[in-house]
Amino acid sequence: MAGKVEAPVLGGKIEIPKVQYGASKDQRVIPAKPDLMQKLNFPSERPPDWRERFLEKMAEVIKKYRSVRLFLDICVRCGACTDKCHFFIGTGDPRNMPVYRQEMMRSVYRRYFTTGGKLFRKLAGAEDLTEQMLEQWATYYYQCSGCRRCSVFCPYGIDTAEITYAAREIMDSIGIGSKYTLEIINKAETIGNNLGLTEPALRNTLDFVEEEIKENTGADVKLPLNVEGADILLVTPSADFFATPHIESLTGYAKVFHQAGVSWTLSSYASEAANFGLFVGNYAHMKAINKRIWDMARQLKVKRVIIGECGHAWRVLYSFSNTLNGPFDFLDSRYKVPQHICEFTLDLAKKRAFKFDKSANDNFTVTFHDSCNVARGSRMGDTPGDQFTMPRELINLTCNKFFDMPEGTIKEKTFCCGAGGGLLTDELIDLRLKAAVTRMQAYKDVKEKHNVNFLALICAICKAQFTKILPYYKYDMEEVGGVHQLISNAIVLGAKEGV
């Protein structure tokens, strides 16, 4: 990117911009190198017959996914989605309107797969698969975070994420991939986590967290690794081992398990909850990454699997893992498989297993950012919508001051952080800043009304994105953190309110 990267100015309310063609055409992911493509069973580079292969793959995807076929056919271009995507609101580029993002695939679909398109071409909205078209795909299908917000407002529930992921799968199949996303998939499949942390490095981190807790509280809280026969296998996004503020939530999980008196373990082989296979629409990679967790659950003979704070990880684990690698009849059937850490903590908190000192969080006035994949792609608890109430209940148990951001920006209408779906990469920083404008506007609103100074959430990507972009918006990067960071602050170790 040439020029200085700056955050948009927050005007006070979310404004829908005028359409500006090509406004974000230069925001592109770095292509994956040939050897990386090959490692993941994709062609190393674009073959001479790429058009045929592209259309073959497209035909296959349409045949395999009802969502894609149906969504390509039934959109009526009513326009309800056009002003709902933060990538459009942030950039004004019409290709970031969900319907017009889909139109790239739909126009090719009409041209090669429908009678009307074959006969009437442009008149029927059909477009040839040209270099320019491919370039648009490679640009704008990597400007969607797959957050599903558009789907909430679509009268038919058309989910652009399905189209985006399908498009990436088609592009991968002709050797055009994203370096960032595919490197992570490769690391997750070979080393076991997205950051490439080896077992000794992992053990070091855990020792460090143990020492920190000892120093701060005097308590001997353990973070066990690879313990066979433990009751619980905890799988978290690997950022929790490494990044700030993520590691504060890891500390929180450890304290919760310690205080609950359960036996638990982490695994170095399955040291990643995140699953970037989702982001490239590749069933095989998604399944392979997911499989490590269930293989390890078998091998360590655990009874339960609990997942740390990560949005799309929870979606894949909650919604897909039973399909991908189930059934899980080798686990204790009294517990849901898998369980979210918020479900675990809140359940015991309601049984009064923990004592919380809310005043420990009195320097925080908290708001909660619903992460897209949790909000619109999964559930917690027993009742639809519990994914909204449970994290808020946990915050209210551990903090005195909590205020929600404005309606229309939270819960099922929540805005994405702006970097999910494989966009959390440096080359897209300008796009990420712009896409976050909706969330920042809503955050500013509660800051001004209620002096909010802490943005709590349960997603590793959101944490990394906000830590990075808050300073651009002149806010302190420490204003973002996990729900279990708040729990970590408030939980009184050694004390029980009586079980």
Interface contacts to other proteins, rule CB under 8 A: 18-19, 62-67, 69-71, 73-80, 82-84, 94, 97, 99-100, 103, 114-116, 123-125, 148, 151-159, 162, 283, 318-320, 322-323, 326-327, 336-338, 375-379, 384-385, 387-388, 412-413
Write down the least CB distance from residue 328 to other proteins, Å: 9
Nearer to other proteins, 51 or 57 (CB): 57
Exposed/middle/buried for residue 218 (C-beta within 10 Å: 0-12, 13-18, 19+): exposed
Write down the least CB distance from residue 156 to other proteins, Å: 4
Write down the least CB distance from residue 480 to other proteins, Å: 24
Nearer to other proteins, 231 or 386 (CB): 386
Write down the least CB distance from residue 260 to other proteins, Å: 21
- Alpha-carbon span 120 to 116, nearest angstrom: 6
Nearer to other proteins, 2 or 123 (CB): 123
- Alpha-carbon span 67 to 224, nearest angstrom: 42
Q: Phi and psi at residue 97, in whole multiples of 5°?
A: -80, 130
What's the chain's length in residues? 499
Nearer to other proteins, 99 or 209 (CB): 99
Write down the least CB distance from residue 324 to other proteins, Å: 8
- Alpha-carbon span 256 to 250, nearest angstrom: 10
Nearer to other proteins, 410 or 469 (CB): 410
Write down the least CB distance from residue 442 to other proteins, Å: 16
Nearer to other proteins, 50 or 328 (CB): 328
Nearer to other proteins, 50 or 320 (CB): 320
Write down the least CB distance from residue 412 to other proteins, Å: 6
User: Are 310 and 451 spatial neighbours (Cβ–Cβ below 8 Å)?
Assistant: no
Nearer to other proteins, 200 or 327 (CB): 327
Write down the least CB distance from residue 140 to other proteins, Å: 14
Write down the least CB distance from residue 64 to other proteins, Å: 6
Q: Phi and psi at residue 340, in whole multiples of 5°?
A: -85, 145
Nearer to other proteins, 57 or 69 (CB): 69
- For the CA atoms of 51, 53, 54, 56, the dihedral, rounded to the nearest 10 degrees, stands at 120
Nearer to other proteins, 113 or 269 (CB): 113
Write down the least CB distance from residue 325 to other proteins, Å: 10
- 378 to 72, 317, 455: CA distances (angstroms): 24, 9, 21
User: Are 439 and 408 spatial neighbours (Cβ–Cβ below 8 Å)?
Assistant: no
Nearer to other proteins, 102 or 345 (CB): 102
Write down the least CB distance from residue 146 to other proteins, Å: 11
Nearer to other proteins, 244 or 322 (CB): 322
Nearer to other proteins, 214 or 298 (CB): 298
Write down the least CB distance from residue 104 to other proteins, Å: 12
Write down the least CB distance from residue 358 to other proteins, Å: 29
- Alpha-carbon span 346 to 319, nearest angstrom: 21
User: Are 10 and 444 spatial neighbours (Cβ–Cβ below 8 Å)?
Assistant: yes
User: Are 88 and 82 spatial neighbours (Cβ–Cβ below 8 Å)?
Assistant: yes
